[in-house]
């Protein structure tokens, strides 16, 4: 496997990183995950905009322009001889003096890697389990895709050990926030709802696509805070994530969820957008 390390292609077994890189020491960095089909990254500019926003928030001096990132992605795909993949871009603050201070840490580390792309599953339904771990409402760190994801790691582990596919995260007010790798939507009488970012949810790229699709389809959609009980009694429940698009939830805490034809409609519309931008699967 070939990776891109600070803009240069490097074989995986020749990649060297300092043990004092702050991404390793403190999770001091950010990442983006992007679906690639037919050699084309889906919504790369949107992902890079979020990455730059996160870097500004964390005061990491990284701002590689879109054309350079497109060229690096093209090189990475060509050198690995793949056209379908999941592209991961990670930016850390790099190395610096020991301790939390960022003084002197002025050379970010950028890593780009490719991973197998999941096969589309139109009838995929996930089992969701409510986590015992809580995210914080109104947390500014929830608005960036930070490398500090240990809470999400623990929540996903807890869910999988219970036989579920994914974990549902509530905030300290017991309001629905997000899943560990996805945003949450629910349906009530053909109206779509999703938690606002202030509930502790990352503003996902696919989340925004789903919101835009609701508008284009003439479907009402609102951001609202909600309890677990409310979404448990909804007419349908689905998740949005980069790698799989729109995924219906089949069970929540071992109870069957409602089934809504609107989920299939949104899923087909999302697939159509991807096919239009990336070509047929």
Residue range 254-279: average pLDDT? 95
Q: What pLDDT digit, counting tens, does each position of 161-187 carry?
A: 999 999 999 999 999 999 999 999 999
Q: Which of 115, 148, 173 is the last residue of a domain?
A: 115
Q: Which of 280, 278, 211 is nearest to 240 (CA)?
A: 211
Q: Which structural domain range is residue 222 located in?
A: 125-278
Q: What pLDDT digit, counting tens, does each position of 2-17 carry?
A: 999 999 999 999 999 9
CB atoms under 10 Å from CB of 126, counted, come to 19
Q: Is the pTM of this model over 0.75?
A: yes
Under a CB-based contact definition with an 8 Å cutoff, are residues 55 and 91 in contact?
Answer: yes
Q: What pLDDT digit, counting tens, does each position of 112-153 carry?
A: 999 999 987 878 999 999 999 999 999 999 999 999 999 999
Q: What pLDDT digit, counting tens, does each position of 255-264 carry?
A: 999 999 999 9
Dihedrals φ, ψ of 177, to 5°?
-115, -65
234 and 264 assigned to the same domain: yes
Residue range 16-21: average pLDDT? 94
pLDDT value, residue 61: 96
| Rounded CA separation 43/36 (Å) | 9
Is the pLDDT assigned to residue 21 strictly greater than 90? yes
**Domain containing residue 93: CATH number:** 3.30.470.10
Residue 48 burial (C-beta neighbours within 10 Å; 0-12, 13-18, 19+): buried
Is the pLDDT assigned to residue 202 strictly greater than 90? yes
43 and 161 assigned to the same domain: no
135 and 90 assigned to the same domain: no
With respect to residue 120, please indicate whether it lies within any of the assigned structural domains: no
269 and 149 assigned to the same domain: yes
| Rounded CA separation 25/172 (Å) | 28
**Domain containing residue 197: CATH number:** 3.20.10.10
Distance from the Cα of residue 134 to its chain's centroid: 18
| Rounded CA separation 240/221 (Å) | 15
Give the percent of the chain with pLDDT over 90: 96
pLDDT value, residue 128: 98
Q: Which of 54, 85, 115 is the last residue of a domain?
A: 115
Is the pLDDT assigned to residue 72 strictly greater than 90? yes
178 and 153 assigned to the same domain: yes
With respect to residue 158, please indicate whether it lies within any of the assigned structural domains: yes
248 and 137 assigned to the same domain: yes
111 and 130 assigned to the same domain: no
pLDDT-wise least confident of 11-20, 30-39, 119-128, 152-161: 119-128
Is the pLDDT assigned to residue 281 strictly greater than 80? no
Residue range 56-65: average pLDDT? 95
pLDDT value, residue 33: 98
What's the token pair of residue 53? 């926003």
238 and 130 assigned to the same domain: yes
Distance from the Cα of residue 152 to its chain's centroid: 12
């Amino acid at each position: 496997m070939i990776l891109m390390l600070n803009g240069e292609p490097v074989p995986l077994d020749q990649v060297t990183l300092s043990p004092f890189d702050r991404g390793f020491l403190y999770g001091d960095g950010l990442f983006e995950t992007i679906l690639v089909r037919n050699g084309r990254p889906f919504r790369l500019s949107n992902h890079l905009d979020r990455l730059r926003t996160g870097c500004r928030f964390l005061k990491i001096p990284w701002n590689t322009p879109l054309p350079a990132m497109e060229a690096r992605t093209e090189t990475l795909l060509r050198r690995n001889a793949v056209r379908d993949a999941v592209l991961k871009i990670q930016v850390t603050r790099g190395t610096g003096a020991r301790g939390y201070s960022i003084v002197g840490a002025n050379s970010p580390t950028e890593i780009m890697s490719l991973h197998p792309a999941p096969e589309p599953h139109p009838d995929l339904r996930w089992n969701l389990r409510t986590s015992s771990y809580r995210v914080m409402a109104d947390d500014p760190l929830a608005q960036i895709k930070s490398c500090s994801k240990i809470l999400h790691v623990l929540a996903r582990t807890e869910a999988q050990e219970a036989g579920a596919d994914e974990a549902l995260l509530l905030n300290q007010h017991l309001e629905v926030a997000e899943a560990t790798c996805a945003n949450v939507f629910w349906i009530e009488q053909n109206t779509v709802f999703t938690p606002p970012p202030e509930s502790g949810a990352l503003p996902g790229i696919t989340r925004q696509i789903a919101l835009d699709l609701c508008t284009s389809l003439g479907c009402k959609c609102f951001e609202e805070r909600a309890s677990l009980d409310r979404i448990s009694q909804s007419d349908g429940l689905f998740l949005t994530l980069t790698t799989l698009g729109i995924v219906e939830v089949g069970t929540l805490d071992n109870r069957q969820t409602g089934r809504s034809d609107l989920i299939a409609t949104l899923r087909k519309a999302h697939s159509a957008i991807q096919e239009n931008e990336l070509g047929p699967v």
